[in-house]
């Protein structure tokens, strides 16, 4: 399971800074199973600036020790904040009050961070209070990160479980979920009164529902791969014939293609050059006679049932 990672920015070569890290910061991080990254304690053969940027990009949170007012620490903390990530500021206690002899400002927290909720430390040995405050702050900012990591773990498991199914099992699972989805939302199943001896199974079925005082009609097709041959078949064997039925000369209709494998955008552009694409190319609209419109909707490259459900929610907002 992925762990939270923490970038630690601080002054290098300062005994007290190193001790507060070793005696307090590092034990607290380890107690929460957070992986620490301090660039001066990592073996690498890169330009150090590039390595710092790499670590900042990969880490989830940052602890910035403002002790000795190192410009690099301020820069790294700012870079981290600019990525929308959380930074915990700590500093030696004597840096909170200005000193007359500190003409260069090397022993103070600079004005642009003085309003931050900085955790102070005063001793490298009497550290219980500092550790308790740091632990509390880490727990506070780690909670949403842990929730995100757990969500990603579940998504990855769902994708893995789905990938292990046979193509037939995937198709059955998708169809089962789709029928439950329609039933839960009160879509009514219908059947066309047409001769079916030369049609593929299910081609005469469609679903209907009144939404916003408008009747919606949708035909559904699930396939392993929406190849050109498959799409041509639907066009010629279904809509050219069904389109002759008087009822469908008068109403808009939706046709949803669900392909387990990815359908390239170029394929759709080649197949339907006259269509108007909407919703990031997932929906193609045609104008027929008498101002009747037909929308082709596509869900493809299905990795899990959860992701398929999200796609359904988006697609069903696009029905005409």
- Three-state SS at 309: helix
Q: What is the pLDDT of residue 200?
A: 59
Residue keyed to tokens 């009497």: 126
Query: Per-residue pLDDT for the chain (320 aa), expressed as one digit of tens each?
Result: 678 999 999 999 999 999 999 999 999 999 999 999 999 888 778 788 899 999 999 999 999 999 999 999 999 999 999 999 999 999 999 988 888 787 777 888 887 888 889 999 998 888 999 999 999 999 999 999 999 999 999 999 999 999 999 999 999 999 999 999 999 999 999 887 665 545 556 666 889 998 888 888 898 899 999 999 988 888 776 555 555 556 666 778 888 999 999 998 888 888 888 877 776 667 777 665 567 788 888 999 999 999 999 999 989 988 88
Q: Determine whether 209 is exposed, middle or buried from the number of CB atoms within 10 Å of its CB (0-12, 13-18, 19+).
A: middle
Question: How many other C-beta atoms can be found within 10 angstroms of the C-beta atom of residue 158?
Answer: 15
Q: Determine whether 303 is exposed, middle or buried from the number of CB atoms within 10 Å of its CB (0-12, 13-18, 19+).
A: middle
DSSP notation for 214-261: EEEEEEEEEES---HHHHHHHIIIIIHHHTTSTGGGSS-EEEEEEESS
Sequence spans of domains, the chain = 5-161, 167-318
Tokens of 174: 């998708």
According to CATH, what is the number of the domain 5-161? 3.40.50.10140
Q: What is the pLDDT of residue 76?
A: 96
Question: How many angstroms separate the CA atoms of 130 and 151, rounded?
Answer: 32
């Amino acid at each position: 399971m992925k762990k939270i990672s923490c970038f630690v920015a601080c002054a290098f070569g300062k005994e007290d800074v190193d001790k507060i890290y070793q005696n307090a910061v590092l034990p607290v991080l380890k107690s929460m199973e957070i992986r620490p990254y301090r660039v001066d304690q990592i073996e690498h053969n890169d330009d150090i600036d590039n390595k710092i940027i790499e670590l900042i990009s990969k880490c989830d949170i940052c602890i910035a020790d403002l002790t000795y007012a190192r410009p690099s620490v301020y820069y790294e903390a700012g870079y981290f904040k600019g990525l929308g990530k959380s930074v915990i500021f700590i500093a030696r206690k004597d840096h909170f009050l200005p000193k007359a002899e500190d003409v260069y400002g090397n022993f103070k927290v600079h004005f642009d961070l003085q309003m931050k909720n900085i955790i102070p430390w005063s001793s490298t040995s009497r550290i219980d209070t500092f550790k308790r405050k740091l632990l509390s702050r880490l727990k506070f900012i780690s909670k949403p990160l842990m929730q995100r990591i757990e969500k990603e773990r579940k998504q990855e498991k769902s994708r893995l479980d789905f990938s292990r199914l046979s193509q037939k099992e995937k198709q059955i699972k998708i169809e089962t979920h789709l029928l439950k989805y329609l039933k839960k939302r009160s879509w009514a199943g219908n059947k066309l009164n047409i001769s079916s001896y030369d049609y593929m199974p299910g081609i005469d079925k469609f679903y209907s529902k009144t939404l916003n005082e408008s009747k919606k009609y949708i035909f559904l097709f699930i396939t392993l791969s929406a190849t050109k041959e498959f799409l041509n078949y639907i066009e010629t064997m279904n809509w050219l014939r069904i389109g002759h039925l008087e009822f469908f000369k008068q109403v808009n209709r939706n046709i949803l293609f669900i392909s387990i494998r990815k359908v390239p955008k170029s394929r759709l552009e080649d197949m339907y050059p006259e269509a108007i694409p909407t919703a990031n190319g997932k929906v193609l609209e045609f104008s027929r006679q008498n101002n009747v419109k037909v929308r082709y909707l596509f869900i493809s490259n299905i990795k899990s049932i959860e992701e398929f459900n999200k796609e359904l929610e988006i697609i069903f907002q696009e029905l005409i």
